[in-house]
């Protein structure tokens, strides 16, 4: 691994500093922290049918997996990715620290009659003895990892053949950046994305393949049908401490924030966010 002569100028240091800046801003403006309790509360919304028709991005991800593979997914949540992949390989291990997510994963696996899965209650990396598979992957997790180098080293150690990191070109936690500006009257500090992650990998001596996936980020949600509902919808996205003042700000810029389409108000502030797949063979990695 290449080490900067001045650690404060390293890509890993900058990555951690961005995580810290995001946490400071959220605490100051929202009174929030991102911890396991958030994932526990929201776990039911991460339930997806394992037997659904695979999305184009999921099919691309699955193309790297062979029928006899053992797959490790770090932060697999309720199994949105892990459970469909388990239908195509020998075994999937979901390493998930959130109790709420683990409960949803177990429930979905049982309902879908998927028994070639293993659930591990652990943060990542798990310590001296962790799971090993042919492929280690993580989806939408790196945005929240302050100590990114040990996290990546753990993925490499767990993968006999390949590591896959799947993210979005515009990270979902920063999807509402323009709305944030309106509500809080200051720019949002974005979570680390590919422009932060890739320099860390290069600094570690990892030269991954980078694929742009065909589908952009979307999430099932009920869109508002009235102006008042739309204002509340906007506030729910950014959770301001003073909702009355924030509602006035949203109302003042309502026509720029929403468009009426088919009887629902659609948010205009969200950017297009195509998927990105960052992957490399571990045989090429010397850590």
State phi, psi for 118 to the nearest 5 degrees: -130, 135
- As a whole number, the mean pLDDT across the chain is 94
pTM, two decimal places: 0.93
Q: pLDDT, tens digit, for every residue of 231-285?
A: 999 999 999 999 999 999 999 999 999 999 999 999 999 999 999 999 999 987 6
Residue 252 in domain: no
User: Which helix (DSSP H) or strand (DSSP E) does residue 236 occupy?
Assistant: helix 227-238
| Cβ-based neighbours of 287, under 8 Å, separated by 6 or more | 1, 153, 156, 204, 205
Task: Specify the number of domains making up the chain.
Answer: 1
- Residue 218's nearest CA partner among 256, 274, 174, 144 is 274
The predicted structure's pLDDT at residue 154? 97
Burial 179-217 (b: 16+ CB within 10 A, else e): bbebbbeeebbbbbbbebbbebbebbebebeeeebeeeb
Looking only at Cα atoms, what is the longest distance across the chain? Answer: 58
Q: Does residue 38 lie in a domain region?
A: yes
pLDDT, position 9 = 80
**265 inside domain:** no
Question: Does some domain include residue 257?
Answer: no
Q: What is the pLDDT of residue 173?
A: 92
Cα-based distances in Å from 144 to 53, 75, 194, 200, 287:
29, 11, 13, 15, 23
Distance, in Å, from the CA atom of 147 to the CA atom of 125, rounded to the nearest integer, reads 10
**Residue spans of alpha helices (H) in 147-203:** 148-158, 177-184, 194-203
CB atoms within 10 A of CB 140: 19
Please report whether residue 236 resides in a domain: no
Q: Which residues of the chain have pLDDT under 50?
A: none
Domain of 143? 7-173+187-219+272-284
Return the pLDDT at 138.
Answer: 98
Give the CATH number for residue 114.
Answer: 3.40.50.150
Question: Is the Cα torsion angle 231, 232, 234, 239 positive or negative in sign?
Answer: positive
């Amino acid at each position: 691994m290449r080490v900067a002569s001045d650690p404060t100028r390293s890509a890993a240091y900058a990555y951690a500093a961005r995580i810290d800046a995001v946490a400071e801003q959220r605490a100051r403006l929202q009174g929030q922290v991102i911890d396991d309790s958030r994932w526990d509360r929201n776990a039911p919304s991460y339930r997806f049918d394992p037997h659904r028709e695979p999305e184009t991005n999921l099919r691309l991800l699955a193309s790297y997996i062979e029928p006899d593979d053992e797959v490790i997914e770090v932060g697999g949540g309720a199994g949105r990715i892990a459970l469909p992949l388990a239908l195509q390989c020998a075994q999937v291990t979901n390493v998930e620290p959130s109790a709420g997510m683990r409960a949803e994963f177990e429930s979905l696996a049982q309902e879908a009659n998927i028994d070639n899965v293993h659930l591990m209650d652990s943060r990542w990396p798990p310590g001296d003895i962790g799971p090993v598979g042919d492929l280690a992957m993580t989806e939408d997790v790196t945005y929240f990892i302050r100590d990114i180098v040990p996290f990546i080293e753990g993925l490499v150690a767990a993968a006999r053949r390949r590591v896959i990191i799947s993210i979005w070109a515009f990270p979902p936690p920063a999807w509402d950046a323009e709305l944030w500006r309106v509500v809080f009257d200051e720019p949002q500090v974005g979570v680390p994305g590919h422009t932060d992650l890739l320099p860390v990998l290069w600094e570690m001596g990892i030269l991954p393949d980078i694929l742009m996936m065909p589908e952009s980020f979307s999430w099932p949600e009920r869109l508002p049908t009235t102006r008042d509902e739309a204002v509340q919808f906007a506030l729910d996205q950014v959770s301001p401490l003073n909702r009355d003042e924030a509602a006035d700000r949203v109302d003042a810029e309502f026509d720029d924030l929403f468009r009426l389409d088919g009887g629902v108000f659609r948010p205009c502030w969200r950017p297009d966010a195509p998927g990105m797949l960052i992957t490399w063979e571990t045989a090429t990695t010397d850590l």
